[in-house]
């Protein structure tokens, strides 16, 4: 995997001493693997996910299509890490989640960061074993909850009746059935703004009270075998749905009414967030959701267009507005849709003239706010992808849409299927 013999030797000596002196506990990583089977090299502790595919075909195929598989190769993350490091920030804050090998091999942080930015990688970011070596997490630690990794032959998971394997030992842990496992990383908010919440009041949500967890929606169950020759049963999906169109369509409800008041028309939209966490979550630089209203008059000519944006705006130490969460020190604006919240939005526009009716289109979109990024940052993101500014990272995607037609004489909207 590109590690030098000197690095391997240094790591082997260091880890051997650690294993003799103390069983290292909570400090974002634990060195608990036995060293009597050979040196603890990165490729031994964190074998490539392609090796898991030999036995876990379905899970690996799902993983390969997931956003998690692209944790260190996405153009936005690479640009963000570069900007973050250029300001002298501690790169562990990024790599502890995007490349958990750094927890076990901290001496390789600089090398790993340089590889990520250059795109010349000799290691995976978040692969199969990076999650399945997690022995426990401490969710009560401020910031990133502490993660306890236990390198060795034992692979941890959420099945009690696992199939014995020659490739590794297996052990059931109930942490794989709890949201704490996911929240070890997915609670990220600007570290300099303690009032900024990523997930929000998830524990107080209706879903949490019903016993649902992160895995319920983001690792939906399927009926199959999780490993070769194993009996078929309910197994967790490994697509890690989050941005999939199917899941998004279930995440929101849109309802609307309008009232023609002579020369003016008032449109009232009720937007309900059906998910048990804030939308958007995590970094403000990645996530933005907006509600858009389009009114079309005679010959489907657009006569009115307006949108409302949901997200967060921060200020840096100089008081300037910023989307860079590692520069943020103060929360200026928070229009985030809270868990299971209903937001009512009112739009007023001139009643279209010269037409007996007009069309109403209401849509909700998910977008990376590329148009709001600093120009230099946007260009750097574009440089990390062969598609440049045409890359999907710069394009919004539709979540859901509602359509209707209003006869002006009647003054009320008729709800119709969208074309």
Q: 360 is written with which tokens?
A: 């109403």
| pLDDT greater than 60 at residue 398 | yes
Of 162, 178, 194, the domain-final residue: 178
Q: Does residue 135 sit in helix, strand or coil?
A: strand
Report if residue 41 sits inside a domain. Answer: yes
CA-closest candidate to residue 281, choices 218, 238, 236, 373: 218
Report if residue 338 sits inside a domain. Answer: yes
Report if residue 230 sits inside a domain. Answer: no
The average pLDDT across 121-146 equals 85
pLDDT band at 20 (very low <50, low <70, confident <90, very high): very low
- Specify whether 274 is located in the same domain as 410: yes
Quote the number of domains for the chain.
2
- Specify whether 269 is located in the same domain as 361: yes
Decide which of 24 and 402 is more confident: 402
pLDDT band at 195 (very low <50, low <70, confident <90, very high): confident
**pLDDT score recorded for residue 231:** 79
Phi, then psi, of 334 in degrees rounded to 5: -135, 105
Instruction: Tell me what percent of the residues of the chain surpass a pLDDT of 70.
Output: 89
CA-closest candidate to residue 284, choices 336, 229, 351, 348: 336
Report if residue 201 sits inside a domain. Answer: no
User: Which domain covers residue 381, as residue numbers?
Assistant: 245-416
- Specify whether 278 is located in the same domain as 412: yes
Q: Does residue 327 sit in helix, strand or coil?
A: coil
| pLDDT greater than 50 at residue 14 | no
- Specify whether 253 is located in the same domain as 364: yes
Of 137, 152, 178, the domain-final residue: 178
Partner residues linked to 360 by β-bridges: 295, 404
- Specify whether 400 is located in the same domain as 318: yes
Report if residue 183 sits inside a domain. Answer: no
What pTM, to 2 d.p., does this model score?
Answer: 0.84
**pLDDT score recorded for residue 74:** 92
342-395 residue pLDDT tens: 999 999 999 999 999 999 999 999 887 787 788 999 999 999 999 999 998 888
What is the maximal distance between C-alpha atoms in the chain?
A: 85
- Specify whether 255 is located in the same domain as 393: yes
**pLDDT score recorded for residue 151:** 92
229-279 residue pLDDT tens: 777 888 889 998 877 777 887 889 999 999 999 999 999 999 999 999 999
- Specify whether 174 is located in the same domain as 250: no
29-80 residue pLDDT tens: 433 345 456 678 888 999 999 999 989 999 999 999 998 999 999 999 999 9
pLDDT band at 89 (very low <50, low <70, confident <90, very high): confident
Report if residue 294 sits inside a domain. Answer: yes
Instruction: List the Cα angle 184/186/190 in 5-degree steps.
Output: 105
Q: Among 102-111, 124-133, 136-145, 354-363, whose mean pLDDT is lowest?
A: 136-145
pLDDT band at 406 (very low <50, low <70, confident <90, very high): very high
Of 178, 208, 223, the domain-final residue: 178
- Specify whether 26 is located in the same domain as 114: yes
- Specify whether 161 is located in the same domain as 39: yes
Q: What is the CATH number of the domain that holds 250?
A: 2.60.40.10
Report if residue 95 sits inside a domain. Answer: yes
**pLDDT score recorded for residue 12:** 45
Q: Taking a C-beta distance cutoff of 8 angstroms, is the pair 205, 194 a contact?
A: no
CA–CA distance, 202 with 339 (Å, rounded to integer): 7
Partner residues linked to 172 by β-bridges: 157
- Average pLDDT over all residues of the chain: 86
Report if residue 196 sits inside a domain. Answer: no
- Specify whether 135 is located in the same domain as 249: no
**pLDDT score recorded for residue 397:** 87
- Specify whether 14 is located in the same domain as 160: yes
**pLDDT score recorded for residue 92:** 87
Partner residues linked to 156 by β-bridges: 171
Q: Among 30-34, 81-85, 112-116, whose mean pLDDT is lowest?
A: 30-34
């Amino acid at each position: 995997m590109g590690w030098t013999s000197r690095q391997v030797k240094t790591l082997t000596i260091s880890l051997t001493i650690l294993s003799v002196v103390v069983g290292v506990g909570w400090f974002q990583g634990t060195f608990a693997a036995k060293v009597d089977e050979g040196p603890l090299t990165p490729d031994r502790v964190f074998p490539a996910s392609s090796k898991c595919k030999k036995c876990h075909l379905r899970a690996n195929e799902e993983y390969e299509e997931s956003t998690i598989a692209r944790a260190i190769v996405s153009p936005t993350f690479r640009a963000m890490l570069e900007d973050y490091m250029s300001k002298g920030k501690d790169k562990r804050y990024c790599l502890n989640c995007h490349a958990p090998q750094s927890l076990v091999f901290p001496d390789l942080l600089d090398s790993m960061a340089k590889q990520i930015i250059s795109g010349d990688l000799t290691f995976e970011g978040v692969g199969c074993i990076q999650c399945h070596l997690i022995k426990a997490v401490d969710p009560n630690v401020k910031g990133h909850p502490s993660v306890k990794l236990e390198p060795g032959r034992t692979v941890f998971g959420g099945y009690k009746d696992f199939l014995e394997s020659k490739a590794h030992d297996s052990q059931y842990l109930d942490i794989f059935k709890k949201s704490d496992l996911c929240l070890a990383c997915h609670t990220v908010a600007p570290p300099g703004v303690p009032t900024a919440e990523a997930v929000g009041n998830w524990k107080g949500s209706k879903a949490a009270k019903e016993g649902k967890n992160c895995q319920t929606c983001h690792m939906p169950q399927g009926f199959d075998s999780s490993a070769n020759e194993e009996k078929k049963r309910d197994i967790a999906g490994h697509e890690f749905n989050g941005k999939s169109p199917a899941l998004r369509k279930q995440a929101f409800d849109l309802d609307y009414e309008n009232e023609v008041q002579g020369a003016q028309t008032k449109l009232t939209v009720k937007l309900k967030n059906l998910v048990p966490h804030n939308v958007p979550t995590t970094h403000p630089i990645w996530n933005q959701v907006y509600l858009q209203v389009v009114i079309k008059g005679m010959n489907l000519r657009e006569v009115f267009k307006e949108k409302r944006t949901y997200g967060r705006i921060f200020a840096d130490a100089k008081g300037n507005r910023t989307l860079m969460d590692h520069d943020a020190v103060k929360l200026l604006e928070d229009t985030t849709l809270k868990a299971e919240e209903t937001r009512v939005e009112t739009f007023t526009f001139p009643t279209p003239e010269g037409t007996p009716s007009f069309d109403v289109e209401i849509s909700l979109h998910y977008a990376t706010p590329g148009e709001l990024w600093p120009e230099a940052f946007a260009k750097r993101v574009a440089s990390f992808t062969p598609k440049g500014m045409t890359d999907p990272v710069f394009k919004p995607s539709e979540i859901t849409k509602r359509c209707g037609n209003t006869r002006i004489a009647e003054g009320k909207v008729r709800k119709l299927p969208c074309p």
